[in-house]
Amino acid sequence: MWGAGETPEGEVGNIWGSVTSCGTEGNLLGILYGREYLREVPTIPTLVSSVESHYSVSKAGRMYGMPYVRVRSNDVSGEIEYDELERTARRIVHEQNGGVCVVVNVGSTVRGAHDRLDLVIQALDAANVPPERRYLHCDAALSGLILPVLPEAEDYHFGFDRGADSIAVSGHKQLGTPIPCGVVCTRREHMLRWAAGTPSEADYVNTQDSTLAGSRSGFAALVLWYVLSSKGIEGIQKDARYCISSAEYLKQQLLEHAPSCEATRTPHSTTVVFKRPSTAMEKKFQLATTGDIAHVVCTPSVGREVLDLFVKEYSDDIVS
């Protein structure tokens, strides 16, 4: 699904992966690999993303001592503004003699928006950013197992065959694993560069530690394997279409029963954004809120009866 490719023997070629404890750990590791790749750049590499990115990106910047620049997002689609990205990258690389580690949103936290990897690369090309001064990490925590199985979402497809250096996804979101977990994948060269720093006295682990946390959950790996092998590509695609259908249904029902809510949904997103309701509603439905908006993410476990109940209570709440 992520364009990793295979060797003639049917084995994965130059891509390495690890089970993580969550999407944040995947972002922290992917960005760390980016910093290590860009170490040869004369100045400290700059972390760049849209304002829609998860706060773990900012956390990574603070942890790794990387300057962090947030680029505006489109008011309608929620995508990063590619023209501003181009200007930002040109300034960092050519005026500041730096490099850029760019985080691409594949389902942003609040609006479920998707940046287009191909347009991000076009922006970097237009800014004359050479390969040795760029690193691309895809934060696919939310939509990493949705977009790749939707042919109609071709414009938003991403992968290693399309220029990504690392990709992170959560297991407890779309897959619905009972414990927080995820997977991060990267080009093998990036993993080896970091693993090479494992001190020789750590020979008791019988390997070079290529991860961030060290120990990992074998149960998480088992759960991920079980869900993926049970569903298969067809099951994952079925879930993706169901969730998108549910999100569109919710948006239309909200607009019909509570027009003032201004419900929106970005392209191919399972997230519906609307005006923030009362605190009682927030607590009852455990809504994620920020500023004057709230959202609902439609997952495979969310049925129409739950959506209908929410619409009824939300519309009554807004009116009152």
Q: Which two tokens stand for residue 255?
A: 């607009």
Q: Which two tokens stand for residue 123?
A: 């922006």
Q: Per-residue DSSP letters for 213-228? A: SSS--HHHHHHHHHHH
| Annotated active-site residue in 269, 278, 301, 315 | 269
Distance of CA 138 to the CA centre of its chain: 6
> How far, in Å, CA of 205 to CA of 207, rounded?
5
Q: Which two tokens stand for residue 190?
A: 């990036």
> How far, in Å, CA of 50 to CA of 294, rounded?
19
> How far, in Å, CA of 205 to CA of 203, rounded?
5
**Residue listed under structure tokens 């220029």:** 163
Q: 136 with 104: CB under 8 angstroms?
A: yes
Q: Which two tokens stand for residue 10?
A: 């049917």
Cα angle vertex 58, ends 182, 219, to 5°?
15
Q: Per-residue DSSP letters for 83-138? A: HHHHHHHHIIIIIS---EEEEEEBS-TTT--B--HHHHHHHHHHTT--GGGEEEEE
Bridging pattern class, strands 134-139 and 166-170? parallel
Please say if 200 is a catalytic residue.
Answer: no
Q: 59 with 94: CB under 8 angstroms?
A: no
Q: Which two tokens stand for residue 233?
A: 């590509």
Question: Which residues does residue 319 pair with via DSSP β-bridges, in sequence order?
Answer: none
Catalytic (active-site) positions: 269
